[in-house]
Amino acid sequence: MADTPNPNAASEAFVRPDVRGLLDMLKAMNRPPVEDVGAVAAREGMRAMTQIGEAAPREMAVIRDVTCPGPAGDIPCRFYDTRESRDPGPAVLFIHGGGFVIGDLDVYHAICTEFAARLDLPVLSVDYRLAPEAPFPAAPDDCEAAARWLASSPEELGREITGLVITGDSAGGNLTIVTTNALRDEPADVPVLVQAPIYPVADAAGQHESYRRFKDGFFLTGATMAWFDEQYAPDPESPRNLPLLGDCSNAPSTVLCTAGLDPLRDSGRAYAACLVKHGTEVTYLEFPGIIHGFFTMRKAIPSGQADVESFIDAVGAALERRQ
């Protein structure tokens, strides 16, 4: 006879002590969810959360705000490098998360310096247009434009780019895959060497067991996810919305991580499995006992720093195998 599902399964999941401390603190604060306060207040809330919970940025030789041409005007970006100048080599395109509605260059400033320092590569962070002011497909259009611009070794950056590493978290993980697929189908001036989605949305997450287990009480909620989707207003049948609706063959080397307590966990697992089925080199890292969003909460969740380092080191190893 089949086992009966345990309704208390989520409460029995392994939760790290520092994660439990943060979840208890957030519960005690009783802050209204983003779906109740709206996009503008939610963006301010994410910035405030980052100021409290994120680690300090690394020292950089170069931090410069730039713009790149986009389909609806110039796209704000921020360029990072640990070196004033360097020989030709790869560059990282970083695409931030926030449900396609919140998040910006400042929220992801510290983690971009972490990537630049640990990989010893230049990083371009892209501030794509957000919903609901700019719904789907504004975000993938802007990210593709930024990737093609970076691949062209633009004079403004003073770097000769030989290949791309595309990475980002959550919605940015989704856009990492979507952008990589766009450059697979219509190549840019240089190839995507590695894609590195961080707890991405790759399919309809609500179909998975991790959504049922962790959609309440583990930071990212099912109600918030539904609200983000309502604001983004994507085409539900488009692979530029949910990549697993399309072709996941011929992907570059991929490093993908998920969080053990994330309602999106199984969506990331499903995408990794699809890539393996098609013969792609995949490094899959699942970090137990930790929640969605930990890449930008490293002060609030100190144990997450080691996971961030493991992920970035895996990206570096995958890149070395391509060069």
Provide the strand spans (E) within 173-242.
192-198
pLDDT at 10: 53
Q: Could you tell me the residue ranges of all domains in the chain?
A: 26-322
List the catalytic residues.
Answer: 170, 262, 292
For 131-170, write each residue's pLDDT tens digit: 999 999 999 999 999 999 999 999 999 999 999 999 999 9
Between CA 116 and CA 58 the distance in angstroms is 9
Specify the CATH number for 26-322; select among 3.40.50.1820, 3.40.50.12780, 1.10.10.1800, 3.90.950.20: 3.40.50.1820
Q: Is the pLDDT of residue 6 over 50?
A: no
Contacts 24+ apart (CB under 8 A), 152-158: 152/188, 152/189, 153/189, 153/190, 154/68, 156/66, 157/66, 157/79, 157/91, 157/122, 157/124, 158/85
The pTM assigned to this predicted structure is 0.96
pLDDT at 87: 98
Q: Is the pLDDT of residue 3 over 90?
A: no
Q: Average pLDDT, stretch 99-124?
A: 98
Which amino acid is residue 218, in one-letter code? Answer: F
For 168-205, write each residue's pLDDT tens digit: 999 999 999 999 999 999 999 999 999 999 999 999 99
Pairing verdict, β 192-198 and 253-259: parallel
For 237-294, write each residue's pLDDT tens digit: 999 999 999 999 999 999 999 999 999 999 999 999 999 999 999 999 999 999 999 9
3-class secondary structure for 70-108?
Answer: EECEEEEEEEEECCCCCCCEEEEEEECCCCCCCCCCCCC
Between CA 155 and CA 34 the distance in angstroms is 40
Q: Mark out the alpha helices in 57-194 (DSSP H runs).
A: 109-119, 138-151, 171-185
Cβ-Cβ contacts under 8 Å for 213 (sequence gap 6 or more): 9, 10, 13, 263
pLDDT at 323: 77
Q: Which of 172, 229, 231 is nearest to 205 (CA)?
A: 229
The two structure tokens encoding residue 101:
């509605």
Q: Is the pLDDT of residue 1 over 60?
A: no
Percent of the chain with pLDDT over 90: 95
